[in-house]
Chain A
């Protein structure tokens, strides 16, 4: 048992459901008690989905516990199969129902006898892995299931596509800026002459999975999700993959050069030509992306030597550390990640780029580190943003866990050359800079902290508040207190009331007119 206030990565079933509901025409059945199905709320609210989230909870209650849940789960699976005709139904328990130690595989076997859809059990240990690991595993499981079957049925076309192509693995719902990154990646690959074979899981039909191995190579943009599927495809189908994340100028250049290498592996044989991207990279870096010039410009002079702390998932924290210290000359005092399972890789990446490394799932440890270092800016998750607010240090959010703010309507990729611009903006805007910095020092900031209860300047006779009414006023939350006070006084004046009692306050509230609200 451990005392926990907050967590960076969610429970395993969230990962499984993210993968299942990202594929097209897949339904997930959660075998779980009432209230465990909040995934639907998260997806519907954060992604602003227009369709119903294809996840149904088969509710476990006392009766189900007493009777055994097989019948209920099986009938819910077959019912969903009939109602919505999904290609696949994924069954997953949650932390809670996994303790029941039921033979869920047996439920699934039974259900597949009746259902026209394929049915599988997400094979995840709910107490040992987190959301990210579980989504990695589930994606691999689904890919393996459909490729193995295609191979068995002999409906397999393993020939490479005529034009160079790649799969993007690991774009999914509720990901941190995933949709924007995906669009930017497609653009980047398009400019390199690489067509997209498939993007999984987001928006892909399962029937198409059998054509996955036709791509020339795979791309895993985020190492948290997709590495397992990619290494399965490498092992079984000899597909090479790139796991370098194209975030930042140098990482993107590195990524492009890896693409070149993999392209030329086949291009010389199949197309009789070689691709050369160094010109492209140079052009993009110098003229298209503004980031490289920006870091040389006078604006960034004040950034030199400023201190920052970075914390996030392994992919983003490592990339941002590289950008800050390598590309912008900002000193990274501490860099860290909550992806404990990927500690080795992370350490290797940030070695030499920061003063210290922190790998923890405990946000208080991160908070203490930040408070000790007192950097000029933080680049972290929503939690670090809150920590920063408390100790008055600005924070740019660079990593999941996701928040409604990470689903902007505008285009905000982190990847590719447009991503470098976005990140430069984010970094620059996170620091208090130059003249503004001086002015803030001199005049003590532009926000006043006191609660405004400015009285109405209508002149005339003043209005008294009885002590009871005043203490009642104090109970009203600060952000509306001023308004309530004003409205009550207006009401009192209109009714020639000289002393405001609690009764008068309520009467004023009851009389508020619709015009003032509409």
Chain B
């Protein structure tokens, strides 16, 4: 099959659905253990957090709404005084190390000067306040994390050069190792220290797995953005290399490069064994290290998951677009032998994702499959019409469309599950495949005769 050499991008600017970017609060408040997230918005924002995300408050949460009322909107109340009242209450009740204000569409529209107020209040209450504008006017779903990390990058301490003093260097290394990985430096003697900071929020166990993978290549990671604790943010500055683990962090990448003078390692993302290998190899190449054992490691993983691959090989998949992980997942699934009809994506930063896009083309050539159609800001209605014609085996879709598509005999998987599941690194490959194959395996396990009962097709 002949494949076009270049990727075609379309931008439909349609009516599409994703979650609001403030949803990042749901995972970031758990990731940054000493933080407090304050969403400055309306009832609409609050109801979203409690309802659509299913985030129920079991105990005292570390996030809350500063709910804007009519007086705030009509500027009868003083924003600074109101926020002061709320932040003092938060300080007294929870005493967090940092308060993160999440600006919303409403604060954008009424032009509330959060960035202006924060420094004043910060002094007054003695707790750092970070302002992130995770609004739906500019961003989609996972990009909320991008706005928070970009804002947080400004608060990372300045990295100090100490290349001359060898003793200092080892001391610092030990310190950072303890902070970031909680491991005894049993391999430390072999390690070469590089100034590598990784960005993107991953569960601590996945983060330490990636640390370990790099350690195997004798690269020690000097820190993560975000860190587990606000006070442990990694030092940034000239001479620091940064590398992202998630495709939706373009703004953070830009901030790290332009404002903090870091060097960005542009790699594909460590999703799938192919992506993880490429990611590690790219980092190694930047530090001029010859990677070893990765090819074996990758093929070993493929060998381990071949039972899953059998389930999806030759099947087709359609990404409606939701969480910006679509390109990486599509690339991985193509490598697994799937045919990707369409990759919908809310926003496509072609520079930040350049390595991933190149890798996608490379993978398509390798697997001899056509390049998928990439549609930015897709029109959901149009996509459903296209799906009627293409009849994909699997649609990866937002929650609003899953049940109706199932009713139309198209197997679905919620895209949001890939946002919350552990999908990074070699050891998560099985988890991704577990998610992807579940709807298809279900088809297999239900006795054929009963099938017609469970799948009902609505008239369309």
Contacts and interface: CB of A to CB of B under 8 A. Distances in A.
Q: Is this pair of chains taken from one and the same complex?
A: yes
Interface string A73-92: 00010000001000000000
Contacts of A503: 212
B447 to A, nearest CB: 16
B401 interface: yes
Contacts of B16: 34, 59
Interface string A469-490: 0011001100000000000000
A465 to B, nearest CB: 14
Interface residues of A, number: 72
A189 to B, nearest CB: 30
A2 interface: yes
A99 B307 CA distance: 55
A57 B105 CA distance: 15
Interface in B132-149: 135-141
B301 A510 contact: yes
Contacts of B354: none
A45 B403 CA distance: 7
A5 interface: yes
Contact of B205 (A38, A96, A127, A475): A475
A34 B59 contact: no
A502 B16 CA distance: 43
Interface stretch (B60-68, B155-163, B249-257, B363-371): B60-68
Interface in A421-476: 467-468, 471-472, 475-476
Contacts of B434: 517
Contacts of B68: 1
Given A76-B15, A83-B381, A512-B430, A5 B44 contact: no
A511 B77 contact: no
Given A33-B136, A506-B209, A5 B65 contact: yes
B308 interface: yes
Contact of B18 (A6, A13, A34, A76): A34
B398 A2 contact: no
Interface in B34-72: 40, 42-48, 50-52, 56-59, 61, 64-70, 72
Given A59-B16, A61-B137, A468-B183, A4 B399 contact: no
B144 to A, nearest CB: 9
Interface in B1-59: 15-23, 40, 42-48, 50-52, 56-59
Contacts of A5: 57, 61, 64-65
B427 A34 contact: no
B18 to A, nearest CB: 6
Nearest to A518: B441
B166 interface: no
B430 A510 contact: yes
A44 B403 contact: yes
Interface in B63-106: 64-70, 72-73, 77, 79, 82-83, 85-86, 89-90, 104-106
A35 interface: yes
Contact of B401 (A11, A44, A127, A383): A44
A13 B44 CA distance: 8
B89 A3 contact: yes
Contact of B399 (A14, A44, A99, A386): A44
Contact of A51 (B47, B205, B407, B445): B407
B296 interface: no
B204 interface: yes
B239 interface: no
A38 B77 contact: no
B66 A2 contact: yes
B83 A1 contact: yes
Interface residues of B, number: 87
A128 B42 CA distance: 12
A40 B400 contact: yes
A83 B184 CA distance: 63
Nearest to A57: B15
B291 interface: no
A436 to B, nearest CB: 26
B56 A382 contact: yes
Contacts of B106: 95-96, 99
A366 to B, nearest CB: 13
A51 B43 CA distance: 28
A67 interface: no
Contacts of B445: 518
Interface string B334-376: 0000000000001000000000000000000000000000000
B189 interface: no
B57 A94 contact: no
Contacts of B421: none
B331 to A, nearest CB: 20
A79 B305 CA distance: 46
Interface string A377-413: 0000011001001100000000001000000000000
Contact of B46 (A7, A40, A100): A7
A11 B51 CA distance: 12
Contacts of A76: 15
Contacts of B90: 3
B292 to A, nearest CB: 16
B82 to A, nearest CB: 4
A56 B209 CA distance: 42
A6 B57 contact: yes
B286 interface: no
B402 interface: yes
Nearest to A14: B47
A2 B434 CA distance: 43
B87 to A, nearest CB: 9
Nearest to B19: A35
Interface string A267-285: 0000000000000000000
A35 B50 contact: no
A267 B407 CA distance: 46
Contacts of A11: 42-44, 47
B138 A38 contact: no
B209 A1 contact: no
B110 interface: yes
28 contacts: A1-B40, A1-B66, A1-B72, A1-B77, A6-B50, A35-B18, A36-B20, A36-B44, A36-B105, A38-B52, A44-B400, A48-B403, A50-B403, A50-B456, A59-B16, A61-B138, A65-B109, A65-B137, A96-B44, A127-B69, A127-B73, A383-B57, A389-B58, A390-B58, A472-B208, A506-B427, A509-B430, A510-B430
The 9 closest A-B pairs by CB, nearest first: A35-B20, A95-B42, A33-B136, A38-B52, A40-B400, A1-B82, A50-B407, A11-B43, A35-B136
Given A45-B400, A61-B138, A96-B42, 10 more contacts: A6-B46, A7-B43, A10-B51, A36-B44, A38-B52, A44-B402, A58-B15, A130-B43, A471-B182, A510-B427
Interface of B: 15-23, 40, 42-48, 50-52, 56-59, 61, 64-70, 72-73, 77, 79, 82-83, 85-86, 89-90, 104-106, 109-110, 135-141, 182-184, 204-205, 208-209, 212, 300-301, 304, 307-308, 346, 381, 384, 398-404, 407, 426-427, 429-430, 434, 441, 445, 456, 458
